[in-house]
Amino acid sequence: MIQKYNLSMRMMHWLSGVGFLFAIFLGIILTHTSWIDESNEVQYILLHKSFGLLVFFLATLRIIIRFCSEIPNSVADNKIEKFIEKFTHYFLYFSIIALPISGYLMSSFGGRTSGFFGLFDIPLFISKNDELSGSFYDIHKILAYITLCFVGVHILGFIKHLIIDKNNILKRIV
């Protein structure tokens, strides 16, 4: 049995993970308009959408790669830990797909296009509907903060293995 994730899994973990952290950081900045110069707000939204879409493309590729990869055995000590580990991983996979989709739907129902770093725009496939745009805003916001909590659990799990179990599982993914 292998003890380490393969190179493509390791690369996709850090690319999509860092992309996710950038997207959520920019999302949080957008809600604190006093932190930024108002004249730059549109630029921040464009950057937020671009990083969000990047996460979506990387996450799709990452999930395909995962299906084709051999995954190392879990390092969980007991059934409860194994459940938390599995649930957290599956939730994070779900979220890096669902968050960008909810963001895109929020913008599209609001009648706004979404671009990718100025390279191309994703066309509007749906007609304007402010009510649905509002609902997707709520979904996007709630899901983003729940996901942030799960990232916290994920990192705490790593710290637990490192400090209590004296097992540096980071070596498996770097």
Q: What residues line the site for ligand HEM (CB under 6 A)? A: 13, 17, 20-21, 23-24, 27-28, 30-31, 45, 48-49, 52-53, 55, 66, 71, 74-75, 89, 92-93, 96, 99-100, 103-104, 106-107, 114, 140-141, 144, 151, 154-155, 158, 169-170, 172-173
Enter the tokens of residue 146.
């729940």
Tokens 């649905």 -> residue = 132
CA dist., res. 102 & res. 97, Å (int): 9
Q: CB of residue 53 vs ligand HEM: minimum separation in angstroms? A: 5
Enter the tokens of residue 156.
């705490």
CA dist., res. 128 & res. 114, Å (int): 14
Tokens 């983003």 -> residue = 144
3 state DSSP class of 112:
coil
Q: CB of residue 112 vs ligand HEM: minimum separation in angstroms? A: 7
For residue 97, what are the contacts with CB-CB under 8 A and spacing of at least 6? 56, 59, 60, 63
Q: CB of residue 118 vs ligand HEM: minimum separation in angstroms? A: 14
Of 60 and 158, CB closest to ligand HEM: 158
Phi, psi of 168 (to 5 degrees): -80, 85
**Between vectors from CA 160 to CA 79 and to CA 68, what angle results, nearest 5°?**
60
